[in-house]
Amino acid sequence: MKEKESYIEKQKDIFGDTTWFTYRYEVNGMVYETSAGSLDICRKARDKWMKMMSVAFTGHRTIRTNKYALSVSLNEEVRFCYENGIRFFYIGCAVGFDMMAAHTVLEQRKQYPDMVLVAVVPYVGQDVYFNKEDKQRYADILRQADKVVVLSEYYYA
């Protein structure tokens, strides 16, 4: 994910004792700009903006329905999300629905290059018990994701 944060710090009032920040954040060609009295306020506003443009997918490891029909529905939902302003797609990376959703986003990204895939990995070594095929799919998803977020170094309940 191509991220770039920049800001200009200015003194605002006649005595020069009020600081004001003009803030700019760029990610995958999208730009967010704001101004506030602190960087913390600017970053919180940026996070709120990103949250409004985000969706997360998670589901069952075992898919007990028609996989083709589910795939068609998932493609429609991802496209619907995109057409309604969603740009950040968070995926849990578990076997099953999570990986299916990740591949759907990666496929749709060919048509909509400003889609951002964020792989959220619960812990390092998540794939230790995956079969060979799922390990390869997992590695491919992580390699193609715009950003990988690892929540923990270790597994815990």
- Tens of pLDDT along the chain (157 residues)? 778 999 999 876 666 677 899 999 998 888 999 999 999 999 999 999 999 999 999 887 878 788 888 899 999 999 999 999 999 999 988 999 999 999 999 999 999 999 999 999 999 999 999 999 999 999 999 999 999 999 999 998 8
- Residue of 78, 74, 80, 76 lying closest to 89 (CA atoms): 78
- Cβ(93)–Cβ(120) under 8 Å? yes
Q: What sign has the CA pseudo-torsion 139, 142, 148, 149?
A: negative
